[in-house]
Amino acid sequence: MIIVTGGAGFIGSNIVQGLNARGITDILVVDDLTDGRKCLNLADAHIRDYADKDDFLRRIQAGEDFGPVEAVFHEGACSSTTEWDGKFVMDVNYAYTKVLLAWCVARKIPLIYASSASVYGMGPVFSEAREHERPLNMYAYSKFLFDCHLRPQLGTLPTQVVGLRYFNVYGPREQHKGSMASVAYHFNTQLHESGRVRLFDGSDGYGPGEQRRDFIHVDDVVAVNLWFLDNPQVSGIFNLGTGRAQSFNEVARAAIAWHGKGDLDYIPFPDQLKGRYQSFTEADMSALRAAGCEHAFMPVEIGVPKYMAWLAQRT
């Protein structure tokens, strides 16, 4: 069996699909379906069982044996960067992951978990070292602190443990995220509604829409997660982006090109984001490459049209 926490969410449900594509259906999905719309991410998936995240936590704290478990993909978290209830975020993201780590280590079960590029704050260096990490919100801090908890243990653990610092992920099965969905998703919606894409005006020395992020298609994220499943000898904390920053304008133009129509509008940069906005991110991918992962990543010119086509099939 493989356990996927956050398995009804964006990245988790895509990992389930990736496992299904390999013929793997002996999957336990763990999630919180208070927002029942997330079940739609699993409607075309094949899984063995489902468990509520709080019930699952109680069961592993009690030392329950789930039978043979090949690996745990831990994607469950409070991912809102605007959530400032620190107790809630630390309980859900930090404390939960520590319990899961201890449970996996005691049973020698590989654990592949979602960290975040948000740990780097404003950058400007995005490589996996403490001196480059300065989280700017509770979500980022909770991810950062677990990475710090893990670091001293790496090299001494009896099983694989991998933290993946996701950069700007976009792609299928994120519609439930609302305002936290990717810009590619929002650009598609805006093109349908008005035929115009809205981008921020210039900031931090960048021209209108020229702020740059490392945008990565979720299919590439799944491919790297499954690479680690295939390579249990590799542990560590790794960036997961494309290694190439691209502008919001490039994402918007890729969406417009797929739709065959549309134009750009630039809106004033929000005051509340000044000093808290990543105007540039670009993953240093040297650690992942040194680990032996040679996966080729899609640029937005390929990934965004692929995503637009997927969305078009479901509207």
Residues with catalytic annotation? 139, 177
User: Distance between CA 184 and CA 304 in Å, rounded?
Assistant: 7
Q: Are 89 and 83 in contact (CB under 8 A)?
A: yes
Q: Are 145 and 152 in contact (CB under 8 A)?
A: no
Q: Are 292 and 231 in contact (CB under 8 A)?
A: yes
Q: Are 156 and 201 in contact (CB under 8 A)?
A: no
User: Distance between CA 315 and CA 311 in Å, rounded?
Assistant: 7
DSSP lists the bridge partners of residue 111 as: 72, 161
Contacts by residues 40-45 (CB-CB < 8 Å, ≥ 24 positions apart): 40/175, 40/176, 41/8, 41/9, 41/10, 41/13, 41/173, 41/176, 42/7, 42/8, 42/13, 42/16, 44/17, 45/13, 45/16, 45/17, 45/20
Could you tell me which of 183, 204, 215, 190 has the C-alpha nearest to residue 282?
215
SS3 state at 311: helix
Could you tell me which of 274, 258, 233 has the C-alpha nearest to residue 309?
258
Q: What is the DSSP letter of 299?
A: P
Helix axes 248-259, 300-312, angle to 10 degrees: 50
